[in-house]
Structure 1
């Protein structure tokens, strides 16, 4: 493909969405200089990044193909149609406000700048927040069931008491986010930055936290039921005094993790591949002092040579 034409298309889409190179770079977790090189035709984004660009700009992936014209008129028509659709939704919501006070006005919040925006208590199920700047946004007590957050900056976001049932949060910056008392049922966190994110007073049910870096994530007073932590790095994490039922830590890095006083039932610590001396050493570094566990979990750990002092079998 002509990389100069591709660069022109990126420029056109970015300007139509009123984004600076720095804003686009932030959403893609790259430098503004990299965006500038694409737009000047000095380099090209990989396919995964092009897919993210289509999500951020709310464009069909074919827009970036060689044969698709990069005309300002086409983007203007598309944006005009979106504006008309949004206006109609707003008018309908106003007309029907007496019947449904909490009816949401927009279905798609992708590619927007919502720094510090107040979404507290909103009824917004099955919404899209893709490629959005949501730093410090307040989603406390909001109904976000079935919504998806992708490639967005939600650092220091507040999800206290929010309903995140069936939500997908992938490739986001969630550092410092607050999930205190949030509803996490079948919620999926993947490839996201959860540094210093707080999960407190929560019953996590069938949640997926696979393949993440959770070394500095904070879990306090939680119950984990059917949670999958497979292949995540949880080194040094404190999980003391919490409940784990049907939880998978398969092939996770658990060096120095503490389960002091925790209760474990049907918990798996298996290695995906052949058990190595390194993996045995990792298991032996886990602290189960004063924990309670069922006989099968106890036997599996004991069989791997794990020291289980003062552990109560139930």
Structure 2
């Protein structure tokens, strides 16, 4: 690999979104000195970090290959002085839909604190390495968009469409997801302390390596959700519905499913079936829960207290 060429491309993409070396370093968990070495061609990021850099800088991974030029900037939204977002339009060539207008958005590295995105339609947008604290995305259609390494604390996603969205390594503390459309949405390695999901149906959603101990779920339906390697310890999931859900490799100590409905739910240990795992399963509460016979048999084999469970 041409380390000098890759370094120049990292520097060029970083400057294009007005991000400092220190800011970029914080998003990929390295020192500013390491970023400086990359940009001077003295060292190279590993492939995992390079992929993360592509997301944060708003470029395709192929951008770092030789002779690949960066795409032209296409700005379709602008932030006004009062923090509102105005939508503009630009006609682009789209072979699949000649003559139509295609909207592209890239907000990576932007300072958009308390911005108003309510009701906008912005498919496949990029919010990587962005400051979005307190922003309003209510009723916005963000299908296929990505949020990576961003500050999204206290953001409002009420009735927003997050179908096929990817949210990784974000701070979503106290964000609100009331009646949010969550289909094939992926949350990974993100902070969700105090975040609230209410009156929502989560379909084929992935919550991977995420700390959910202080996340709030109220009146939700979980259909095909995967909680792989997430920490749910102490979580209250009472009176909610779980169908085809996987609690694989998850921490489940003191989780409450009182009054919940569980059908085709799978539990798998994050380690060997030791006494420690059996003790954790015994702390889960299923009072007045309803479940199908297969889920019941799985939990009974793990030693769960099912004395107050009824069959569906």
User: What residue ranges of structure 2 are gaps of 5+ in the alignment?
Assistant: 79-86, 92-100
Contact 1:135/1:153 (CA < 8 Å) preserved in 2? yes
1:268 equivalent to 2:259? Answer: no
Q: 1:206 to 1:17 in 2, by over 3 A?
A: closer
Matches within 5 A, 1:244-263: 244-263=242-261
Name the residue aligned to 2:96. Answer: none
Q: Alpha carbons of 1:272 and 1:52: their partners in 2 closer, same or farther (altered >3 Å)? A: closer
2:152 matched residue in structure 1:
154
Q: Which residue of 2 aligns with 1:14?
A: 14
CA RMSD of aligned residues (A): 3.2
User: What is the CA–CA distance in structure 2 between the aligned matches of 1:243 and 1:59, rounded to whole Å?
Assistant: 39
- Show CA shifts across 1:254-301 (max 9, x none): 011111121212211233664222211111111112222222222221
How far residue 228 of structure 1 moved from its aligned partner, in angstroms, is 1.3
Please give the TM-score of this superposition, normalised by the length of structure 1: 0.79
Shift, 1:143, TM fit = 0.9
SS at match of 2:276: helix
In the alignment, the residues of structure 2 paired with residue 9 and residue 198 of structure 1 have an alpha-carbon distance, to the nearest angstrom, of 39
CA distance in 2: counterparts of 1:164 and 1:86, whole angstroms: 19
1:182 is displaced (CA, Å) by: 0.4
What corresponds to 1:56 in structure 2? 56
> Does the CA contact (< 8 Å) of 2:76 and 2:104 recur in 1?
no
Q: Answer with 1 or 2: which has the greater Rg.
A: 1
**Does structure 2 conserve the Cα–Cα contact (< 8 Å) formed by 1:290 and 1:309?**
no
SS of equivalent to 1:278:
helix
Shift of the 82–5 alpha-carbon distance from structure 1 to 2, 3 Å rule, reads closer
Q: Which of the numbers 169, 175, 191 marks the counterpart of 1:177?
A: 175
Larger helix proportion, structure 1 or 2? 1
Name the counterpart of 2:239. 241
2:80 is equivalent to residue 82 of structure 1? no
Q: Is the 8 A contact 1:56 1:111 kept in 2?
A: yes
Relative distance call for 1:304 and 1:30 in structure 2 (3 A) is same
Cα distance, 1:129 vs. partner? 2.2
Change in CA separation of 1:62 and 1:265 when aligned onto 2, cut-off 3 Å:
closer
TM-score (ref. length: structure 2): 0.80
CA deviation after TM superposition for structure 1 residue 181, in Å:
1.1
Q: Distance in 1 between matches of 2:293 and 2:237?
A: 20
Q: Distance in 2 between matches of 1:178 and 1:145?
A: 18
After TM superposition, the structure 1 stretch with the greater mean CA deviation from structure 2, 128-137 or 111-120, is: 128-137
Residue 223 of structure 1, CA deviation: 1.3
Show the counterpart of 1:231: 229
Q: Identify the match of residue 303 of structure 1 among 296, 301, 304.
A: 301
Task: Give the aligned partner of residue 117 of structure 1.
Answer: 115
Rounded Cα–Cα distance in structure 2 between residues aligned with 1:236 and 1:146:
32
Distance in 1 between residues matched to 2:217 and 2:166, nearest whole Å: 20
Offset at 1:173? 2.1
Map of 1:108 onto structure 2: 106
Contact 1:27 1:132 (C-alpha < 8 Å) held by counterparts:
no
In 1, the alpha carbon distance for the partners of 2:203 and 2:257 equals 19
User: Offset of 1:118 from its aligned partner?
Assistant: 0.8
- Higher mean C-alpha deviation, range 276-285 or range 145-154: 145-154
Q: Quick check: 2:213–2:231 contact (8 Å CA) kept in 1?
A: yes
CA-to-partner distance for each residue in 1:195-227, whole Å, 9 max, x for gaps?
221111111122111332211211111111221
Q: CA deviation at 1:233?
A: 1.2
1:307 & 1:63 partners in 2: Cα distance?
55
Structure 1 counterpart of 2:24 = 24
Instruction: Tell me the residue number matched to 1:196.
Output: 194
- How far 1:152 sits from its partner (Å)? 2.4
What is the DSSP-based 3-state SS (H/G/I as helix, E as strand, rest coil) of the residue aligned with 1:54?
Answer: helix
Query: How far, CA to CA, are the matches of 1:226 and 1:11 in structure 2?
Result: 41
1:90 touches 1:105 (CA, 8 Å); kept in 2? Answer: no
